[in-house]
Structure 1
Amino acid sequence: MRDGLVSVITPAYNCAQFIGKTIESVQAQTYGNWEMVIVDDCSTDNTREVVESYSKNDFRVRYICLDKNSGAAVARTESMKAAKGEYMAFLDSDDMWKPEKLAKQLAFMREEGHPFSCTAYEQVDEQGNPLGKVIKTIRRTSYNRLLLDCPVGNSTVMYSVRAMGKFEVPNIRKRNDDALWLQMLKKEPYIWGMPEILSEYRVREGSISHNKFDLVKYHWKLYREIEHLGIARSSFHIAIWGFIKLLHIK
């Protein structure tokens, strides 16, 4: 483990169209002590070529390709295993960071003594244009609060490996980020939120998270098979999630 190093955890699959901008947003960070561990889940497009065009000129960008297509959870776990940093920060292969994201979030965690944190973020379209929607964070998110309506954006999360150790992402095709946070919240009681908008989430047509109705069965799987919640409690959380997400209340 290297002191002060932030390992950027990025699983990738067929993201050649967007991943260049994602990498550039990391390279633009005002905090320069980072490594970006990109694990390719056997992309069939030219993701490898795009990433290697950056890694050959910047040793901090590391490219790893899985032996077989295994899903985002496995790719994220392998990225975490390969990480060498004192901190891990998560960034999806089509999202982007504001230039001061790492510096401000690290300062927040160190000054406040919080080992686990997230930030607010905004949505952008496929071309990177703002959609006028900001997803705010809350001051602190517990295990039970996250079950109700995950107020945590994947590409905003950072945690201290020194304080919390390494984790394996539960192998569920969708909502594996939520599943990971739930695992981590069994060790650390809260994810602490920063109100500042430091990340950009790209809304893509046809993306895994785009069809909210399709996600219902994965939330059920998360509650029942990963977290082993009872039928009544799982049904309650599905209803709350549906009320908030499907009706666009949040």
Structure 2
Amino acid sequence: MKNLVSIITPTFNSSRYIEKCIGSVISQSYTNWELILVDDDSTDKTQQIIIKYSRKYKKIKSIILNKNSGVANARNVAIQNSNGRFIAFLDSDDYWHKDKLSLQLDFMIKNNFAFTFTSYQPISNDEKKKYRIIHAPKKMNYDKYLKNTIIGCLTVVIDKEKTGKFLMPNINSSQDMALWLNLMKKGFVAYGLKLNLASYRIVKGSNTSNKFKAIKDVWFVYRQHENLNFIYSLWCFTFYVINAIRKRI
């Protein structure tokens, strides 16, 4: 189908949040989408929930993995089972605003962009607190992104016709950061849409809420995935910390 969007959603013990996530996709004003839910061997009721939705809606596909292999593998299984020209990412505890795909696809197609992202708003686990909106800059290239990892995975849409096929690097963490860098090294620029179109849930105990782990993960990408030397890694890391602080001021 023309301009089909394949939405990539890995799940793991997501029963508390997954229905709101799925509901935000079903409610999209842009209707030419497929949602691919890949469960990474959950032990709660997540599998039953996603199977229920896949039986009810033809545009929703559920895939159950019988061994926990990590979020990168789950996303890649979803990508490999996708049919769309466009690939969008949405994690199971996050959700979109109803016009997200419509506005972002219009932004991409009118401007002939291959790689886009939007502003988004972090929220508390129980949704009672809404934090400062993370505003999307106009554009990000490789050098800028090394110093400011501002792109929210839940906001990204990629035109596979322009970039060619891709998978997330199968590393333990920061797979999304590594993928964006891979695309940028090929010359693709990520263009930001200023509108706040997604809500990013900060779940207690998650990688996002663990600041020390987040710092370690970024350093790992610099040194191991990008093979940057120590001095340049430290230079980029200094700007990364400054920009991370600015997000919260």
Shorter-chain TM range is over 0.9
**Alignment-derived partner of residue 149 in structure 1:** 148
Give the aligned residue type for 1:79: A
Shift of residue 59 of structure 1? 1.2
The 2-side partners of 1:86 and 1:215 are apart by: 31
**Alignment-derived partner of residue 8 in structure 1:** 7
Q: Is the contact between residue 7 and residue 85 of structure 1 (CA under 8 Å) also seen in structure 2? A: yes
Q: Is the contact between residue 121 and residue 198 of structure 1 (CA under 8 Å) also seen in structure 2? A: yes
Q: Is the contact between residue 86 and residue 160 of structure 2 (CA under 8 Å) also seen in structure 1? A: yes
**Alignment-derived partner of residue 131 in structure 1:** 130
Summarize the Cα distance change of 1:107–1:247 in structure 2 as closer, same or farther, 3 Å threshold. closer
List 4+ stretches of structure 1 deviating above 6 A.
Answer: none
Q: Give 1:17-166 correspondences, 5 Å limit.
A: 17-166=16-165
The 2-side partners of 1:201 and 1:178 are apart by: 16
1:101-160 Cα distance to aligned partner (Å, 9 max, x none) = 001100010111111100101122223345141000000110111110112111000011
RMSD: 1.5
Give the aligned residue type for 1:232: I
The 2-side partners of 1:164 and 1:3 are apart by: 17
The 2-side partners of 1:103 and 1:248 are apart by: 27
Higher mean Cα deviation, 120-129 or 192-201? 120-129
Please state whether the residue corresponding to 1:122 is helix, strand or coil. Answer: strand
Aligned length: 249
Please state whether the residue corresponding to 1:37 is helix, strand or coil. Answer: strand
Q: TM-score, normalised by structure 1?
A: 0.95
Give the aligned residue type for 2:36: V
Shift of residue 67 of structure 1? 3.4
The 2-side partners of 1:60 and 1:130 are apart by: 32
Higher mean Cα deviation, 198-207 or 210-219? 210-219
Q: Is the contact between residue 6 and residue 35 of structure 2 (CA under 8 Å) also seen in structure 1? A: yes
Q: Is the contact between residue 115 and residue 188 of structure 2 (CA under 8 Å) also seen in structure 1? A: no
Summarize the Cα distance change of 1:130–1:108 in structure 2 as closer, same or farther, 3 Å threshold. farther
The 1-side partners of 2:33 and 2:187 are apart by: 24
Shift of residue 235 of structure 1? 1.8
Higher mean Cα deviation, 26-35 or 200-209? 200-209
Give the aligned residue type for 2:208: S
Give the aligned residue type for 2:120: Y
Higher mean Cα deviation, 120-129 or 200-209? 120-129
Instruction: Work out whether 1:185 is the aligned partner of 2:197.
Output: no
**Alignment-derived partner of residue 236 in structure 1:** 235
Give the aligned residue type for 1:140: K
Q: Is the contact between residue 88 and residue 158 of structure 1 (CA under 8 Å) also seen in structure 2? A: yes
Give the aligned residue type for 1:23: I
Q: Mind listing any 5+ residue stretches in structure 2 that lack a counterpart?
A: none
The 2-side partners of 1:200 and 1:249 are apart by: 16
Q: Is the contact between residue 10 and residue 91 of structure 1 (CA under 8 Å) also seen in structure 2? A: yes
The 1-side partners of 2:215 and 2:59 are apart by: 38
Q: Mind listing any 5+ residue stretches in structure 1 that lack a counterpart?
A: none
Shift of residue 243 of structure 1? 3.1
The 1-side partners of 2:187 and 2:75 are apart by: 20
Percent identity over the alignment?
Answer: 35
Higher mean Cα deviation, 183-192 or 23-32? 183-192
Please state whether the residue corresponding to 2:34 is helix, strand or coil. Answer: strand
Q: TM-score, normalised by structure 2?
A: 0.95
Q: Is the contact between residue 121 and residue 200 of structure 2 (CA under 8 Å) also seen in structure 1? A: yes
Shift of residue 248 of structure 1? 5.7
Give the aligned residue type for 1:142: N
Q: Is the contact between residue 97 and residue 198 of structure 2 (CA under 8 Å) also seen in structure 1? A: yes
Please state whether the residue corresponding to 1:155 is helix, strand or coil. Answer: helix
Q: Is the contact between residue 99 and residue 197 of structure 2 (CA under 8 Å) also seen in structure 1? A: yes
1:200-226 Cα distance to aligned partner (Å, 9 max, x none) = 101111111111112222112111111
1:31-68 Cα distance to aligned partner (Å, 9 max, x none) = 11100111111111111011112111101111112231
